[in-house]
Structure 1
Amino acid sequence: MCGIAGLFDPQGLRPFDPALMRRINDVQSHRGPDSDGLHLEPGLALGHRRLSVIDLSTGDQPQFNDDGSVAIVFNGEIYNYRQLMPELQSLGYRFRTRSDTEVIVRAWEAWGPACVQRLRGMFAFALWDRRQQTLFLARDRLGVKPMHYAWLPDGSFVFGSELKVITAHPAFERRIDPLAVEDYFSLGYVADPRCIYQNAHKLPSAHTLTLRRGGPARPEPVPYWDVRFTNDNPISAADAQAELRERLRESVELRMIADVPLGAFLSGGVDSSAVVATMAGLSPQPVHTCAIGFDDPKFNESDFAKQVAERYRTDHRLEIVGTDDFGLIDRLAWLYDEPFADSSALPTYRVCEMARKHVTVALSGDGGDESFGGYRRYRMHLGEEALRSRLPLGVRRPVFGALGSIYPKADWAPRPLRAKTTFQALAMDSVQAYHHSMSHLRAEQRAALYTPAFQQQLGGYSSLDVFAQHAEAAGTDDPLALIQYIDYKTWLVGDINTKVDRASMAHSLEVREPLLDHELIEWLATLPNRHKIDGGEGKALLKRAMEPMLPHDVLYRPKMGFSVPLASWLRGPLAERAREAVTGDRLLGTGLFQPERLRQLYDQHQAGTSDHATPLWMFVMFEAFLRQAETTA
């Protein structure tokens, strides 16, 4: 696992300053503390920060082909590199290292841009081919590894693993993108391919970007893969369970290749427990497992993790985190480079910090909810869809829209009892309704917070457009498949994978996700929905497949999630930080928000008359982003 960076002159051969290149590369030194490397030639600079995991002695980067005409900087792991090596050797390519990085170089020489089709893993890389005067960037299919880029005012191109590489370049102009602000206050993150700053971009998952010297000034990313839901596999439940166990075993085994200490996160949930149980069957030694617990039992799953650890006799480590562990706000703002509102970033940071004391690589259960239909919101959406299908939109919109407007708001109630939210969703089409349920602040709440001037800047844009674009490309109208697809393109990449990448790389820890193997996901997309949600039970296939391997209480208990007590924090130890955020000059000086409305949110939350924990936390994190931007400008 590593950090990559680079500069490219698409139109000429201007030299780049080595000191500048080293400076923008070193800003992400936490991603790769073991070594660094630079390569400069006229019109090109490549930088790399290395965390050594495979081929410790000869895997340094940038790495080159035999005559030095091809160079690469690479972040990630290619899990099938051992299978690709013999195939490439049969084509006449010789290997000087045992690294997966060299496999990409040889794959490029053999297959050109189509090489990405052959790679199975998590990756973001930039490859320079001097003979073709081409810089080729690629990102893995599920967006596990990040890639940011921008065009500078002088026409040159800069890229890096983290946005801080871009902002560290003195020529980059930090102008906040109004559309990114709308995305953030709706979704809690800035959705790909947008960045918080104008002129900066994230390379979308499963895309490549090809820059040719003398070619188009600003080429567009090109997709090379997509998941297609067919839901037509006639496999029986028993055969599907057996095949899943075998596929999971293969995916986990591929991700256990490492020349450094390896372990797993064990939260006590179904997904991480399934990964650990599978690892235990593959390892002759006890699996190293890491868990954190909370001193508040409402947020503590560590007893369930202990059950799995005892069953498989893992080398289990547990640390208890206080539910007043909120001192990371400014650290997280620096790590994420953009406003990021998922409060589970706090415990994620802590579990990565704890794991790094014992291992360099950790397997996780990320992706299970998206792939197996585990989220409660999926079941809620399908219930609403059943009602929507019985009445045309022309009837639903006026009837349920009116009910939604007059029914009192009840954010304090459990989701099934929030009739206002349900009525509003029933007045919408499927994509609108799912966006409505996924929005931290709903459209009318955002509109009340934005100033008229900011509304004008948005020009009618809504973050709903992000969902609508992906829905159009989904190739399915199946209700569950459609929202799974949207989640793969938005929530999974923008929230889950971003959260884990930044939190793990902050501690130079590599995290691998067996449940995000693209071949596993392709197979799951063929299965009928009854294998995912059955009788109101989410993750039906995974749970039943794991019944011989995991305790019943672990498989069938209510999902807790990795959450923190925001509402009480914001009325107690974080109250002053929240007050400073919503009334201070930093936030109000942006001209984006209505001062009186921000104050009202704060006062009502402190009085206990309303629960505004979600918007207040979002403003705390947005203000923390602005604070970090000032200190690094």
Structure 2
Amino acid sequence: MCGIAGIFHLETAKPVDPARLRKMTDSLVHRGPDGSGIWTAPGVGLGHRRLSIIDLEGGAQPMLTPDEAQVLCFNGEIYNFQDVRAELETYGHEFHTDSDSEVILYAWRQWGVDCLKRLNGMFVIAIYDQRTKQMFLARDRLGVKPLFYAPVSDGSIIFGSELKALLANPLLRREPHLPAVDDFLAFGYVPDQTSLLKGVKKLPAGHYMLLERGKPEPAPIQYWDMDFSQRSKASAGTLEEELVTLLKDAVGSRMIADVPLGAFLSGGVDSSAVVALMSEKSRRPVKTCSIGFDQQSLDETGYAQTIADRFQTDHRSRTVAADDYGLIDTLADHFDEPFADGSALPTYRVCELAREDVTVALSGDGADEALAGYRRHVFHHAEERVRGMIPQSFRGPVLGWLGNIYPKADWAPRPFRAKSTLLSLARSGAEGYAEAVGVTTPSQRHAIYSSDMIRRLDGYQGESQMIDLMENAPAQNGLDQAQYADMKMWLPGDILTKVDRTSMAVSLEAREPLLDYKLMEFAARLPSNLRVRKGQGKYLLKKSMERYLPQDILYRPKMGFVTPIAQWFRGPLADEARNISEAGALGRMGWFEPKALRKIADDHISGKSDNSRLLWQLLMLDKSLSRLFNL
């Protein structure tokens, strides 16, 4: 795992300042503390920070072919590199290292952009081909690894693994992109489709770009996508066995490393399944770790210990205080853009714990998106059945009217929140799901925006991105649409961003076997009743894991990392909540009504209402703005 940075002049081969490139590269030292390198030629420069995982002695980058025709910078891992190498050797290619990096170089040389079809891994690739004067940039299928890029005033495109690499270049213009503010408040993260800095872009998952001197900046080209439009006709028993085989292959391929390797273990279905399959593959006890909380209602370490005992892992756990808010500034530094998923704090702590023993850790991320594991998938699937029975001409006016007059009950369990259900059913499936997956509604945001902000947004609503994805998804039903949209937006924007930034902050490589693209393609073909059944998501995964895991692990309610932010804003962070409206960066930007922000803070602190999620978003936005715009 590494960090990369680069500069490519589109118009003329101007010299690249090595010092400027090194500054961009060194901003990523946390991603690669084991080594660094830069390479420049007329009109182009590549920089690399290395976290050594495979071929510790021979994998240094930037890496050149012996004839110096191609040069590579690469962030990630290619899990099938040995198979690809064997195929390349049949074409006469000779290898001088044991690294996956060299395999990518010769795969490009042999197949060009078609090399992407052969690579199974998490990656961002940058290859400069001196024969064609092209810069090839590519991102893995699911978007596990990030790449930011932007045009700057000297005619070059600059790029890097994190936004901070671009910020280290003095030519980057720092101007806010207001639609991204609405996106962030809608969802709690800035989606891959946009950026908080105007002009900065993120290479989408499953896409590549070919930058070529003398030509304008090209649009990214998609080379892979999820497809929910087809259904497998195999029996449930056959599909169950196929799933187990795919899981074993995915876990086994991610256990290849020349450094200590372990796993995160929360005690949930997904991480427990990964640990079970790792234990089956490993001759030694698997190293596992988990984080617990000093509040019993938030603690899952007992379940993690059950799995550790069952598979005799080398297990470590650590209890952190529920008021572990001291990480807020650290996280703001590492995320660059605002990020309001509160589980980032415990995720950072478990990465920190893992790094004490290992350099690589396998996680259970991805199964919820692939196999409909979120409660919102189950609810949406049920609501779609209702929509199919009642025409929109009735649902819109009648259920909408009932929803508007029904009392609000945010405190109640979701099945009893009739108001939100009625309002959702009054809308289209895409509109209802976009609001269900969001943090704030358009009306809630408009209530705190200044009149100038509303004017400048000109009717834009962040939910439109989710709605467009669902309405244009390659899908057969509403559940397919919801999962597709989550794969394209929620997964790279929230889940993978969280894991990438928190793991890289402590120089730990996190691998996600449940995001193997072959497993994803298999899951997309499953009939709906093998994903959601009897009010439970991930049905086939749980069924297939019954041979490995106990019932109380497989079928207990999903919990996940929980952070007690409501209590924080009534206690140690109360002053920060009050100061957001005036003393912070938000007050100076002029985007919000100070009185509205003060009321949100005062109502929460007094206990009149629970505004903790919105306050958390505003706090993280405030801290991000302070860093991005030096406020």
**Residue 577, structure 1, aligned to residue 580, structure 2:** no
Deviations for 1:69-113, whole angstroms, at most 9, x for unmatched residues?
100100000001000111101111111111111111101111111
Match of 2:291 in 1: 292
The match for 2:38 is 38
Residue 4 (structure 1) shift: 0.2
Following superposition, the deviation at residue 559 of structure 1 comes to: 1.0
Distance 1:315 1:45 in 2: 44
Q: Is 372-381 or 233-242 further displaced after alignment?
A: 233-242
**What amino acid does structure 1 have at the position aligned with 2:591?**
L
Q: Partner of 1:596 in structure 2?
A: 595
Task: For residue 218 of structure 1, report the CA deviation from its aligned partner.
Answer: 1.8
- Distance in 1 of aligned mates of 2:529 and 2:502: 35
> Map of 1:481-492 to 2, 5 A cutoff?
481-492=480-491
| Aligned residues of 2:81 and 2:100 also touching (Cα < 8 A) | yes
Which residue in 2 is equivalent to 1:166?
Answer: 166
Question: 2 CA distance for matches of 1:456 and 1:403?
Answer: 31
Distance 1:567 1:616, change over 3 A: same
Quote the Cα distance in structure 2 between the aligned partners of 1:544 and 1:206: 30
Distance 2:499 2:273 in 1: 19
| Alpha-carbon offset, residue 455 of structure 1 | 1.3
Write the letter of the residue equivalent to 1:250.
Answer: D
Deviations 1:118-162 (A, max 9, x none): 110000011100110100100000000000000002221100000
Structure 2 distance, partners of 1:569, 1:220, is 44
Q: 2:199 maps to which residue? A: 199
Q: Kindly state the Cα deviation for residue 274 of structure 1 after the two structures are TM-superposed.
A: 0.1
Which deviates more, 14-23 or 144-153? Answer: 14-23
The answer to which of 525-534 and 44-53 deviates more is: 525-534
Structure 1 stretch displaced more, 509-518 or 556-565: 556-565
Give runs of ≥4 in structure 1 deviating > 3 Å: none
Alignment pair present for 1:546 and 2:545: yes
Deviates more, 1:272-281 or 1:365-374: 365-374
Mapping of residues 482-521 of structure 1, within 5 Å: 482-521=481-520
Question: In structure 2, what residue type is equivalent to 1:162?
Answer: E
Q: Which residue of 1 aligns with 2:524?
A: 525
Aligned partner of residue 225 in structure 2, secondary structure:
coil
Q: TM-score, structure 2 length as denominator?
A: 0.98
Measure, in 2, the Cα distance between the counterparts of 1:369 and 1:608. Answer: 34
Q: Quick one: structure 1 residues 585 and 366, their matched pair in 2 at CA, closer, same or farther if it must change by over 3 Å? A: closer
Q: Quote how far apart the aligned CAs of 1:231 are.
A: 5.0
| 1:561 correspondence with 2:560 | yes
> Do the aligned partners of 2:439 and 2:613 also contact (CA within 8 Å) in 1?
yes
- Residue 235 of structure 1, CA deviation: 2.2
CA RMSD of aligned residues (A): 1.1
| Stretch moving more, 486-495 or 409-418 | 409-418
Q: Is the CA contact (8 Å cut-off) linking 1:245 and 1:545 kept in structure 2?
A: yes
Equivalent residue, structure 1, for 2:83: 83
Q: Secondary structure at the match of 2:326?
A: coil
Residue 184 of structure 1 corresponds to which residue in structure 2?
Answer: 184
Equivalents in 1 of 2:178, 2:395: separation in Å? 32
CA contact 1:121–1:140 (8 Å) conserved in 2:
yes
1:220 alignment partner in structure 2 = 219
Q: CA deviation at 1:544?
A: 1.1
TM-score between the two structures when normalised by the length of structure 1 = 0.98
CA distance in 2, matches of 1:283, 1:263: 11
Q: Is this contact kept in 2: 1:36–1:61, CA < 8 A?
A: yes
Query: 2:238 maps to which residue?
Result: 239
> Corresponding residue for 2:613?
614
| Structure 1 unaligned blocks of 5 or more | none
Query: How much has 1:177 moved relative to structure 2?
Result: 0.3
Q: SS in structure 1 opposite 2:621?
A: helix
- Counterpart in 2 of 1:72? 72
Aligned partners of 2:581 and 2:143: how far apart in 1?
Answer: 33
Alignment correspondent of 2:372: 373
* Corresponding residue of 2:209: 209
Measured against aligned partners, the alpha-carbon deviations of 1:287-310 in whole angstroms (never above 9, x if no partner) come to 000111111111111100000000
Larger mean Cα displacement after TM superposition, 63-72 or 252-261 = 63-72
In 2: Cα distance, 1:496 partner to 1:6 partner: 26
1:542 to partner: Cα distance: 0.9
In the alignment of these two chains, the number of paired residues is 631
Which residue identity does 2:182 align to in structure 1?
Answer: E
Structure 2: any 5+ residue segments left out of the alignment?
none
Q: Equivalent residue of 1:208, what SS?
A: strand
Alpha-carbon distance between aligned partners in 1 of 2:296 and 2:237, rounded to the nearest angstrom: 37
- How far, CA to CA, are the matches of 2:550 and 2:442 in structure 1? 43
The equivalences for 1:363-442 within 5 A come to 363-442=362-441
* Partner Cα separation in structure 2 for residue 535 and residue 130 of structure 1: 58
Give the partner amino acid of 2:529: R
> Residues of 2 paired with 1:485 and 1:101: CA distance?
31
1:517 offset after TM fit, Å? 0.2
Paired amino acid for 1:255: R
- Indicate conservation of the 8 Å contact 1:345/1:503, yes or no: yes
CA contact (8 A) 2:121 2:140 kept: yes
- The letter for the 2-side match of 1:99 is S
Contact 1:412 1:611 survives alignment (8 Å): no
Q: Distance in 2 between matches of 1:164 and 1:520?
A: 33
**One-letter code of the match for 2:292?**
G
| Cα shift readout 1:150-196 (whole Å, capped 9, x = no counterpart) | 00022211000000111111111111101100100001111112111
2:90 aligned with 1:51:
no
* 2:269 match: 270
CA distance in 1, matches of 2:394, 2:133: 59
Cα 1:585–1:328 shift into 2, 3 Å: closer
**Equivalent position SS for 1:389:** helix
| Local SS of the residue matching 2:547 | coil
241-250 or 400-409, larger mean C-alpha shift: 400-409
Q: What residue number does 1:60 align with?
A: 60
Aligned to 1:36, the other structure's residue is in SS state: strand
Deviation by residue 1:392-450 (Cα, 9 ceiling, x = unmatched) = 22221112222222323222222222222112111110111110101100111011111
Maintained 8 Å contact 2:581/2:598: yes
How far apart are 1:387 and its partner, in Å?
1.7
Shift of 1:246: 1.2
Map Cα deviations across residues 540-596 of structure 1 (whole Å, 9 max, x no partner). Answer: 111111111111111111111111111111111111121122332521111111111
Farther-moved stretch of structure 1 (394-403 vs 328-337): 394-403
- C-alpha separation in 2, matches of 1:415 and 1:72: 50
Equivalent-residue separation in structure 2 for 1:419 and 1:607 (angstroms): 27
> Which residue of structure 2 lines up, in the alignment, with residue 24 of structure 1?
24
Alignment partners' CA distance in 2, 1:212 and 1:19: 24
Match of 2:443 in 1: 444
Q: d(CA) in 2 for partners of 1:310 and 1:582?
A: 50
SS of residue paired to 1:48: strand
CA distance in 1, matches of 2:629, 2:352: 27
TM-fit CA distance, 1:386:
1.7
Q: Which residue of 1 aligns with 2:96?
A: 96
**Take 1:477 and 1:314, find their aligned partners in 2: how far apart are those partners?**
42
CA distance in 2, matches of 1:311, 1:404: 48
Aligned to 2:309: 310
Asked if the contact 1:125/1:138 (under 8 Å) is kept, the reply is yes
The alpha-carbon distance between structure 1 residues 416 and 584, as it changes in their structure 2 partners (threshold 3 A), is farther
Q: CA deviation at 1:251?
A: 0.5
Aligned residue for 2:165, secondary structure, equals helix
Measured in 2, the distance between the counterparts of 1:554 and 1:425 equals 32
What is the CA–CA distance in structure 1 between the aligned matches of 2:472 and 2:260, rounded to whole Å?
41
Q: Structure 1: how far apart are the matches of 2:196 and 2:395?
A: 36
Query: In percent, how many aligned pairs have the same letter?
Result: 50
Kept in 2: contact 1:231–1:529 (CA 8 A): no
Indicate conservation of the 8 Å contact 2:287/2:315, yes or no.
yes
What is the rounded CA distance, in whole Å, between the counterparts of 1:275 and 1:113 in structure 2? 32
Q: Residue 208 of structure 2: SS of its match in structure 1?
A: strand
Give the 3 Å change call, closer, same or farther, for CA 585–372 of structure 1 in structure 2: closer
Letter in 2 for 1:611: D
- The Cα of 1:468 is off from its aligned counterpart by 2.8
CA drift of 1:630 comes to 4.6
Mean alpha-carbon deviation: is it higher for 392-401 or for 119-128? 392-401
